[in-house]
Structure 1
């Protein structure tokens, strides 16, 4: 993670790159339209990770939150060219640290394949998943 910068400045986000990553390579967002992605970004707290020399964006995450009681971490993506360098863990730690002063009751997420990475930051499986419900998911 040496030298990479993490920022919540929305002006720095490469919206075209984020859309490309998610709509073509993220199982949860395949085919998502650019319009829908831009709408999601506009309504979220966004995190970008930037390469130290070029300033090019190499990772992204967004959080849906009221900054008082709850947050949903989603669209966490690290460019394939820089995976394996700890950027995903550092990005999720930055999200956790940014939200810590809010005193949230919980931060949630869903993942098919990255449980180990999220555990490194302190996430755990639901203790009582039977209490949770969803509307509209297949």
Structure 2
């Protein structure tokens, strides 16, 4: 089973059972964004997490095996059409150079890790319209000289 087939089976089971990512996160003890990334095939899960999630979703061991396989992390280079994903690209396009400059001013010449990394999504209620709070938390990795 490949990651695409795995994803479709997981999403169908999630919908059939009426679970949210928060529900599944609580069931397996992992953050919702990380768990969703595993289910989308962009990360691999430890065997015990994959087995537990498959138990919760009533999926067979073949799905768990696919979840433990190392992914190929790539994405389509085309501009995304989904409005939410497009807006995230827009944020990086508009603010990317600014964030790079501010981060390097505070930390020095380097990058933010996407490996030693966590991400969280929160809903902030606001009378003018609810707000999305994204927290990106990555280790700073300085460039080294030799």
TM-score, structure 2 length as denominator? Answer: 0.26
TM-score, structure 1 length as denominator? Answer: 0.27
